Each structure stands twice: as C-alpha cells, then as structure tokens.
Amino acid sequence: MSRWVISGLRQGVVTTCYPTRMETAKGTSPGLPARLTPMADEFGQELVDVCPTGAIHFERGEARVDYGRCIHCFRCSRSARYVLEWESGFEWARFASDGSNFVKGAASWPKAFRKSMHIRVVDAGDCGACLNEVKQLNNPYYNMHRLGFFITPTPRKADILLVVGPVNDHTRLPLQAAYDAMPTPKLVMAVGACALSGGVFGPSFVTGTGVKDVLPVDIEVPGSPPPPLAILHGLLVAAGRKPPMPGQDGR
C-alpha cells in the first residue's frame, strides 16, 4: 500500500488540465480543416473533388467544410494545389439546428443536475471507433468522473442519451426504446460523423442520415471519431458549463 502511495506522489497528477485550461498536449486531437476559406473557382472545385465524403462545398469564391461529414482524412490539406488550413482544437460540440433546443435557452438543466449527470451510451451500428473514444473518458487521463459525468447501464437513470453510429435498421427500435425509457428532462447527444450525417455508411440501403432521422438531437459532436476531449466538451455544453463551438450555423 505504501509503495502505491509513494509511487503516486512521485508520478504527480496525470489527468488532463481541461476544462480548467485548454489541453495542448500533442496527439490529443486530430484537428479539423478550416471551416471557411476564400479561393479561386478552379481550386475550389478541385477541393470538392478531392473530398471523399462530400464535406466540402464551394460557392461564391468560398470553400465551406461541413463538419458533420468530415472524417479528418487530410486530403484537403495535402492532396490539392490550394490546400485548406488545419485547425488543431477540439471544442467542436454544437447545438443541433433541428433538435429540441432544450439546452439553448437559459431554462436548461436545473442547477442541481449540472454537476452530476448520468449518460446512457447506445451503439447504433458504429464501427467501434467512436465507441472506443467514449470509453477513454473513464481512464485516468480524461477521468470524466471528476467532472460529475457517469455512464449508467440503464436509461431509466440517464439524463443524456449519447449515440454513436449511423443508426442502421437493426438499432432503430432499441434506440427509440432507450429514449422512451429515459425520464425527463433528457437530451440526445449525437457523437461522430456517422451519427450526425450517416458518414461513410449512409444514406444507404441499411442506414439513413444519422440519429436525427429517429430522435430529436440536441448536441452534435463532429469527428470521425471525435477525440475524447471533443466528447467531453459536448458533455460540458450539454450541462451548460461550456459554450458550444462558435459559428456553428455556418455549415
């Protein structure tokens, strides 16, 4: 026992400093391309062609990136004549434009809820990547318990329904059942490009265009997969303890 104490004292605190300060350690985020970049028509069209998921739109001399479809493949920053700048942050969570808008107003969660929230995670057909990033939130580095976030196995005790995956035919009904079993107030957080838009899987013969096809989404966390800090930011936005990503409607 004493050896563990001494070892712990030697090691010091290893947990991330986020959200007290921005985390700047290397490797904690893959980043995203700049959302809006002015450029000439010929370069813009080339970027549209190079993007494998249709995330880049070019209009009136501006290349716009839809973060709901971006999978950080880096082609737009490496494989074109006029490449996009790369942003290295991770505070990507935003309010869903067509959700219930529960947390948008001042009348969101009662204060007592904000420091202790329970999360029901549903895998709605994800490839395993987003789910793995969610699992990291429990490790000593991200340690979401220190911020009052806990994963619960039952929807009856959950405040937040966190969904990963594009929602395929086999998961539609179980997802709806989990949502219906949750007490109110409750909100839905879609995590990852597939949950936001269908990503590389949808729309297809077995999936639609993400969680919004089935449930009212409140918070969206882009990325494929989003790093744990982006998901943590989403939870803090859901709890009303952090603002969402600015300029979210500029999709």
Q: Which of 237, 211, 200, 196 is nearest to 91 (CA)?
A: 237
Rounded Cα distance between 38 and 53, Å, is 21
Q: If binding is defined by CB under 6 A, does position 230 make contact with ligand SF4?
A: no
Least distance (Å) from ligand SF4 to the CB of residue 185?
34
Q: Site map for ligand SF4, 64-83, x if CB under 6 A?
A: -x----xxxxxxx-------
Contacting ligand SF4 within 137-176 (CB under 6 A)? none
Q: If binding is defined by CB under 6 A, does position 196 make contact with ligand SF4?
A: no
Buried b (16+ CB within 10 A) or exposed e, 96-118: beebeebbeeeebbeeeebeebb
Least distance (Å) from ligand SF4 to the CB of residue 200?
9
The residue from 16, 29, 37, 53 that contacts ligand SF4 (CB under 6 A) is: 53
The residue from 39, 55, 187, 188 that contacts ligand SF4 (CB under 6 A) is: 55
Backbone angles phi, psi at 131, to 5 degrees: -60, -40
Which of the ranges 47-55, 91-99, 109-117, 210-218 carries the binding residues for ligand SF4, by CB under 6 A? 47-55
Q: Which of 170, 159, 90 is nearest to 123 (CA)?
A: 170
| Maximum C-alpha span of the chain | 67
Q: How many chain residues bind ligand SF4 (CB under 6 A)?
A: 14
Contacting ligand SF4 within 14-33 (CB under 6 A)? 33
Q: If binding is defined by CB under 6 A, does position 56 make contact with ligand SF4?
A: yes
What is the distance of C-alpha 226 from the center of its chain? 5
Read off the amino acid at residue 108. S
Q: List residues binding ligand SF4 (CB under 6 A).
A: 33, 50-51, 53, 55-56, 65, 70-76
